[in-house]
C-alpha cells in the first residue's frame, strides 16, 4: 500500500485524472483512494489544475501544404536537406550544391597519390639520381666528378 | 515509414496530416511564439522526410521520435533567443463557438495558464506538456528529456506545484 506522501507525490506528478495515471501505479493509487476517503479532496485539487490547464488551447495552423511544398523532391535536394537540415538558413544550400563538384574533385584529388607534391618531388629526385648513375653525361653532370 | 524512406510523397503527406497539429500544439505551448513554433513544426516534419531511414520503430514510436526532434529544436530556440515574445496569431481556431462572455472567460483563463507556463523552467514545462497535453507515457517523456522516470516525476511534480501556486489553486478540504 502506498503511503499518503507517496500518493500525493504521484498526484503532483500525474494529476487527478485516473486516465493519466501510469499503468504501473494505477492499481496501488486506486487501492489508496478506496482505503482513504480523504484522498478525494487531494484528487479534486489536482483535477482543478488539470481543468485549468485544459483551458489553454493555442490556435493551431494548418501547415501541411507548406510542409509538403518545401519537402525536397529530387535525390540531390533530399541529400542536401539531410546535410543542411535548417530551413531557416536555406540560402547556402544553392551555394553548397554549386560547390559539390569542386568538393568531389578535391576529395578525389586528395585520394590520388600522383597529386601529392612531396611525393612527386621525391620521385623526380630519385629518377635524376638513377639517370646520373647510369649515364652521368646524359644527366648534365661531368663524368669526372 | 519504409515508404517515406523510399521517397513516397503520398505516404509522407499522410504522416504530415497525422502529426502536424499535435506537434503545433506542443511547440506553440512550449515557445509561446507562433512563428517560431511553426518553423519548428516544419523543420521537424521535414526531418521526417529526409531522415526517415534513421527511424527505428523497435526502439521508439513515431510520435515519440517526432516529439523528441521538436523538443530539441525548442531547446535550441531557447538557447538562441534570450527573450521569447508572444506574437498574435491570425489563424482560425477549431474551438466550438461559444457566447461572447464565455469566450472572454475562456480566453482569460487560457491567458493565465499561458503566463504561468511561461514561468516554468524549460524542462519542467516540456515534461508537463508531453505528459498532460500530448498524452505521452511517462517512459516516452522521460526518454525525450533523457532522464529516468523518477526524475521525470520530480520535474512534473515541481511544475504542477508551481502552477498551483501561480494559478492560486488551493487545497479542497
Q: Is B165 on the interface with A (CB under 8 A)?
A: no
The answer to which of A132-136, B15-19, B26-30 has the lowest mean pLDDT is: A132-136
Of the pLDDT bands very low, low, confident and very high (cuts 50, 70, 90), residue B7 is: confident
Q: Across the interface, which of A56, A59, A71 has its CB nearest the CB of B93?
A: A59
On the 0-12 / 13-18 / 19+ scale of CB atoms within 10 A, B109 is middle
Dihedral sign, CA of A91, A97, A103, A105?
Answer: negative
Nearest to A85 among B50, B112, B133 (CB): B50
Cβ-proximal residues to A112 (8 Å cutoff; 6+ apart), any chain = none
Say yes or no: B52 contacts chain A, CB-CB below 8 A. no
Contact B50 A78 (CB under 8 A): yes
| B29 vs A contacts (CB less than 8 Å) | 56, 58
In this complex, the residue of B17, B47, B137 whose CB is nearest that of residue A85 is: B47
What's the pLDDT at A141?
A: 42
Residue A130 has pLDDT above 60, yes or no: no
Q: Flag if B164 and A60 touch (Cβ within 8 Å).
A: no
pLDDT tens-place string over residues A99-117: 666 666 665 665 544 545 5
Report how far residue A70's alpha carbon sits from residue A61's, in angstroms, rounded to the nearest whole number: 16
Closest approach of B40 to chain A, Cα-based (Å) = 10
B96 touches chain A (CB under 8 A): no
* C-beta separation of B28 from B37 below 8 A: yes
Percent of chain B with pLDDT over 70: 88
Which residue's C-alpha cell is 620521385? A123
Count other C-beta atoms under 10 Å from residue A81's C-beta.
21
Q: Assess contact for A33 and A39: CB atoms under 8 A.
A: yes
Which residue, among A71, A75, A78, A80, would best test binding to B if mutated, counting the most B CBs under 10 Å from its CB? A71
Decide if pLDDT at B12 tops 90. Answer: yes
From the list A12, A20, A67, the residue facing B161 with the nearest CB is: A12
Smallest Cα–Cα separation from B33: which of B65, B92, B67, B81? B81
Which residues in chain B have Cβ-Cβ distances shorter than 8 Å to A49? 160, 163-164, 167, 169
pLDDT at A135 over 80: no
pTM higher than the cut 0.80: no
Q: What angle do CA B156, B157, B161 make, to 5 degrees?
A: 120
- For residue B161, what is the nearest residue in chain A, using CA coordinates? A12
pLDDT in tens, A6-47: 999 999 999 999 999 999 999 999 999 999 999 999 999 999
ipTM over 0.90? The verdict is no
Amino acid at each position: 500500500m502506498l503511503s499518503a506522501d507517496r500518493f500525493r507525490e504521484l498526484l503532483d506528478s500525474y494529476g487527478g485524472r485516473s486516465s493519466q495515471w501510469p499503468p504501473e501505479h494505477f492499481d496501488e493509487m486506486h487501492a489508496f483512494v478506496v482505503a482513504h476517503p480523504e484522498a478525494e479532496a487531494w484528487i479534486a485539487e489536482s483535477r482543478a489544475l488539470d481543468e485549468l490547464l485544459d483551458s489553454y488551447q493555442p490556435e493551431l495552423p494548418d501547415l501541411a501544404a507548406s510542409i509538403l511544398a518545401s519537402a525536397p523532391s529530387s535525390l540531390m535536394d533530399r541529400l542536401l536537406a539531410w546535410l543542411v537540415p535548417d530551413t531557416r538558413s536555406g540560402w547556402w544550400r544553392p551555394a553548397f550544391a554549386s560547390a559539390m563538384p569542386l568538393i568531389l574533385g578535391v576529395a578525389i584529388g586528395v585520394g590520388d597519390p600522383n597529386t601529392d607534391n612531396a611525393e612527386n618531388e621525391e620521385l623526380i629526385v630519385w629518377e635524376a639520381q638513377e639517370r646520373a648513375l647510369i649515364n652521368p653525361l646524359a644527366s648534365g653532370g661531368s663524368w669526372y666528378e | 515509414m519504409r515508404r517515406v524512406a523510399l521517397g513516397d510523397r503520398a505516404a509522407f503527406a499522410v504522416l504530415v496530416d497525422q502529426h502536424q497539429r499535435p506537434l503545433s500544439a506542443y511547440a506553440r505551448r512550449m515557445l509561446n511564439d507562433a512563428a517560431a513554433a511553426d518553423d519548428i513544426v516544419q523543420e521537424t516534419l521535414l526531418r521526417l522526410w529526409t531522415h526517415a531511414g534513421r527511424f527505428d520503430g523497435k526502439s521508439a514510436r513515431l510520435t515519440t521520435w517526432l516529439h523528441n526532434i521538436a523538443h530539441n529544436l525548442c531547446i535550441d530556440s531557447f538557447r538562441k533567443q534570450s527573450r521569447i515574445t508572444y506574437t498574435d496569431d491570425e489563424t482560425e481556431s477549431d474551438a466550438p463557438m461559444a457566447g461572447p462572455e464565455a469566450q472572454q472567460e475562456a480566453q482569460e483563463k487560457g491567458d493565465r495558464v499561458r503566463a504561468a507556463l511561461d514561468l516554468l523552467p524549460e524542462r519542467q514545462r516540456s515534461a508537463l506538456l508531453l505528459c498532460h497535453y500530448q498524452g505521452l507515457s511517462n517512459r516516452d517523456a522521460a526518454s525525450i528529456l533523457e532522464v529516468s522516470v523518477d526524475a521525470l516525476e520530480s520535474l512534473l511534480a515541481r511544475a504542477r506545484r508551481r502552477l498551483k501556486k501561480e494559478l492560486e489553486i488551493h487545497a479542497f478540504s
